[in-house]
Structure 1
Amino acid sequence: MSQFAADHDICGRADLTVVLRRFYTAAFADRRIGPFFTQIAGTDLEAHLPRITDFWERALFRTAAYGRDAFAPHAALHAARAMTAEDFGRWVQLWNAAVDGLHRGPNAERAKATGERIALALHKRLAGPDQALLRRRDTQGFVPLAALELRFPA
Structure 2
Amino acid sequence: MCTTGQLRDISDRGDLDVLLRRFYAAAFADRLIGPFFTEIAGTDLDAHLPRITDFWERALLRTADYRHDAFAPHAALHSSRALTAAHFGRWVQLWRAAVDGLHRGPVAERAAAQGERIALAMLRRLHGRDAVTDGPRGAGGFVPLAALALRCAA
TM-score (normalised: structure 2): 0.84
Determine the structure 1 residue equivalent to 2:148.
none
Determine the structure 1 residue equivalent to 2:134.
135
Q: Tell whether the 8 Å contact from 1:9 to 1:107 is kept in structure 2 after alignment.
A: yes
| Distance (Å, rounded) in 1 between the aligned partners of 2:102 and 2:6 | 4
Q: Tell whether the 8 Å contact from 2:92 to 2:144 is kept in structure 1 after alignment.
A: no
- The answer on 1:26 being equivalent to 2:26 is yes
Q: Tell whether the 8 Å contact from 1:5 to 1:102 is kept in structure 2 after alignment.
A: no
Between the two proteins, what is the percent identity of the paired residues? 70
Q: Deviations over 1:37-65 (max 9, x none)?
A: 00000000000111100000000011101
Aligned-partner residue type, residue 134 of structure 2: R
Q: Tell whether the 8 Å contact from 1:71 to 1:122 is kept in structure 2 after alignment.
A: yes
How many residues get paired? 139
Aligned-partner residue type, residue 65 of structure 2: A
SS in 2 for 1:145: coil
Stretches of structure 2 lacking an aligned partner (at least 5 in a row):
146-154
Q: Tell whether the 8 Å contact from 1:28 to 1:35 is kept in structure 2 after alignment.
A: yes
Q: Tell whether the 8 Å contact from 2:32 to 2:87 is kept in structure 1 after alignment.
A: yes
Equivalent runs, 1:2-151 vs 2, <5 Å:
5=5, 7-131=7-131, 134-135=133-134, 144-145=141-142
Q: How many angstroms does 1:147 deviate by?
A: 6.8
Runs of 4+ in 1 over 4 A off after TM superposition: none
Q: Tell whether the 8 Å contact from 1:134 to 1:145 is kept in structure 2 after alignment.
A: no
| Distance (Å, rounded) in 1 between the aligned partners of 2:6 and 2:82 | 35
| Distance (Å, rounded) in 1 between the aligned partners of 2:61 and 2:68 | 17
Q: Deviations over 1:114-148 (max 9, x none)?
A: 000000000000111235x65257xxxxxx42679
Aligned-partner residue type, residue 127 of structure 1: H
| Distance (Å, rounded) in 1 between the aligned partners of 2:127 and 2:30 | 22
Q: Tell whether the 8 Å contact from 2:54 to 2:64 is kept in structure 1 after alignment.
A: yes
SS in 1 for 2:52: helix
Q: Deviations over 1:9-47 (max 9, x none)?
A: 000100000000000000000000000100000000000
Q: Tell whether the 8 Å contact from 1:17 to 1:53 is kept in structure 2 after alignment.
A: yes
What CA RMSD, in Å, does the superposition of the two structures yield over aligned residues?
2.1
